Chain A
Amino acid sequence: MADAAVLPADANLVLKRAQQGKSYWRRVWERLLDDKVTLAVTAVLLLLLVMVVFAPWFTVHDPYTGSVLRRLKPVGTLGHWLGTDEVGRDLWSRMVYGGRMSLLAGVVPVFLALLIGGFLGILAGYMGGFVNSVIMRLTDVLYAFPSILLAIAITGILGSGLQNTILALTISFIPPIIRISESVSAQTRHLDFVEAARASGARPLTIVRYHILNNVLGPILVYATSLISICIILAAGLSFLGLGVTPPSAEWGLMLNNLRQALWVSPLVAALPGVMIFITSMCFNLMSDGLRQAMDVRL
């Protein structure tokens, strides 16, 4: 506590601390550390990430070579403990490698939508007036499509593949993110401390960076984590329809589609890729709930 006496004198430092809002984020962090469920699901997601990135370390068999002799072995087969798929490829290997595409297609669109939608939303909310009208009316048009319909329309017309999947999902998630960041920043714009900052001569960019962004970040982050869960289900869904990742790539939705014909022969094996989609999306949902509580955000 030696520097306690110095602190109030150093107005710059106090100001800096206040601007960075450290105490709020530190409190959020402490609350997160207390939340066992959120910690557990984060651990599961990290484990999944490690497994997917270092897939060769966690698998014995190549995910792409099959054998007609080993087609549709049941769960618990020696050497293939989760069985094999319709062309005799090891199911565990394909589930681990498949996570690469599924996670990529689940996380990247939300991240991109967050950048684009967040930028446009804050711009609309902060500027108001004409800029707001243009951005928000265009958003209304995109908002007239249920997100899954928009994603299917885009991939259906432009063609399948990972790139188009990511493009389609990004476009589908931009409108809701614009709406949330617009409404939060429009609310914040008229709060006293923003008026005070403006009166004290802060430039618009400074106000947006310190005041608006700090207030918008919480709600958007919470919302985006819950979007990841939807995005993973939708990305796998597009592949399931044959509109996403193309064969022979390993991807959870595509595996589900291919194994569907095997349902009558080996139902358990056919259902397994869906379990991975479910676990991942559930973890992101629970994480979003945890963040929401820790950040005290209402959406």
Chain B
Amino acid sequence: MWAFTLRRLIYAVPVLLGVSMLVFVLIHLAPGDVVDILVPPEVPKEIADSLRRRFRLDEPIYLQYLAWLGRLMVGDFGVSFFTGRPVAEELFGALGNTLVIALPAALLGFSLGIVLGALAAYNRDSWLDKVFSATAIVGVSLPHYWVGIVLVAVFSVVFNVLPAQGMGVEGVPSSWDQIKHLILPVVTLSLIPMGVTSRLVRANVLEILSQEFVGTLHAKGLSNRRVLYHTLKNAAPSALALMGLQFGYLLGGSILVETVFNWPGSGGLMNLAIFRRDVPVLSATILVLAAIFVVINILVDVLQALIDPRMRR
């Protein structure tokens, strides 16, 4: 088991290196360079060029990459062009705010998805199955940013019971006011994971129920609850893999929902960085979100291997 975990960790190193190269190349594909962004166009060319030399932008691209990577290794993400604050400070604050909505949304989406999917499978072709399956497909087909707008229209504009924007006081929510700010974004974010999880769990449970060992369990005289336990245990690995991916999408995709609700999270930060052309913030945000995604996938693989020893290849 430890060998497997270690292998997965080592394997992540080249992937992360590749990710950093891709981000670096992408940034350099953008029209113009950093100096063009920082200095106004009327500045004489000599001054701009001296700045380029100072930032070592005249060096070959692989040297620039290595220097950048070296700074990343020691945790130096640079300074924001726009605010002048260290990028790490801005980014990790924003990530915390994103987690404040992403974690409850994942919890809500996954648990609802598992319950709806399992119930639908156990009552196959009944009205319950039809309603739950329809709910799931609506969940995966809705543009969630639009759902956010509709929820604001209903609960903030028409009924005026919930706040439409922002997170009130930043930090881990403790007061009723902070929780009120959470409700709409969390519900909006949880839709896709709910739909996707429920569809997968239903399909998986149906497939497992059609296998012979379930009949054997019943024949052995096991109670329904014990049979359910075995079914869920068999459905768990692929459901876990999906949930890991979905949680990554939730973090990456929160930019849309955060824009709707003006949420000061990593997505909002990325959006701002794009429009301010704040290259250090943008590259760091993309890089850190991708790195988190890689780590989540490793965690999922390890969890899968814990549940199902066959996965420890």
Q: Which A residues contact B (CB, under 8 angstroms)?
A: 137-138, 140-142, 144-149, 152-154, 156-159, 229, 233, 236-237, 240-243, 253, 256, 260, 263-264, 267, 270-271, 273-274, 277-278, 281-282, 285-286, 289
How far, in whole Å, are A131 and B34 apart by their CA atoms in the complex?
37
Contacts of B215 in A (CB 8 A): none
B252, A146: Cβ atoms under 8 Å? yes
Contacts of A242 in B (CB 8 A): 275
How many B residues touch A, CB cutoff 8 Å?
53
The binding surface of chain A is classed by DSSP as helix
Q: Contacting B149 at CB < 8 Å: which of A153, A157, A159, A263?
A: A263
Contacts of A157 in B (CB 8 A): 26-27, 29-30, 274, 282
How far, in whole Å, are A229 and B196 apart by their CA atoms in the complex?
13
How far, in whole Å, are A260 and B143 apart by their CA atoms in the complex?
15
16 extra A-B contacts, CB within 8 A, seeds A146-B290, A281-B141, A282-B141: A141-B19, A144-B15, A144-B291, A144-B294, A145-B290, A148-B252, A158-B26, A229-B141, A237-B145, A242-B275, A243-B274, A270-B149, A274-B146, A277-B143, A278-B143, A278-B146
| A144-B16, A144-B19, A274-B143 as given contacts; A156 in contact with B274, CB under 8 Å | yes
A104 CB to closest chain B CB, in angstroms? 17
Contacts of B39 in A (CB 8 A): none
Contacts of B15 in A (CB 8 A): 140-141, 144
A277, B255: Cβ atoms under 8 Å? no
Q: Which residue of A lies closest to B296 (CB)?
A: A146
How far, in whole Å, are A158 and B282 apart by their CA atoms in the complex?
13
B157, A264: Cβ atoms under 8 Å? yes
Instruction: Say if the beta carbon of B217 comes within 8 Å of chain A.
Output: no
> What are the interface flags for B146-157 relative to A under an 8 Å C-beta threshold, 1 for contact and 0 otherwise?
110110111001
Residue from A260, A281, A286 with most neighbouring chain B CB atoms (10 Å): A260
Contacts of A138 in B (CB 8 A): 18
A-B contact pairs, 29 of them (CB 8 A): A137-B18, A138-B18, A144-B16, A144-B297, A145-B252, A148-B249, A148-B252, A149-B289, A149-B290, A152-B274, A153-B26, A153-B286, A156-B274, A156-B282, A158-B26, A229-B140, A229-B141, A236-B143, A240-B145, A241-B271, A242-B275, A263-B152, A267-B153, A267-B154, A267-B158, A271-B149, A274-B147, A281-B143, A285-B137
How far, in whole Å, are A241 and B270 apart by their CA atoms in the complex?
11
B147 CB to closest chain A CB, in angstroms? 8
Contacts of A145 in B (CB 8 A): 19, 252, 286, 289-290, 293
Instruction: Say if the beta carbon of B84 comes within 8 Å of chain A.
Output: no
| A157-B282, A271-B150 as given contacts; A278 in contact with B141, CB under 8 Å | yes
Instruction: Say if the beta carbon of B40 comes within 8 Å of chain A.
Output: no
Contacts of A260 in B (CB 8 A): 149, 260
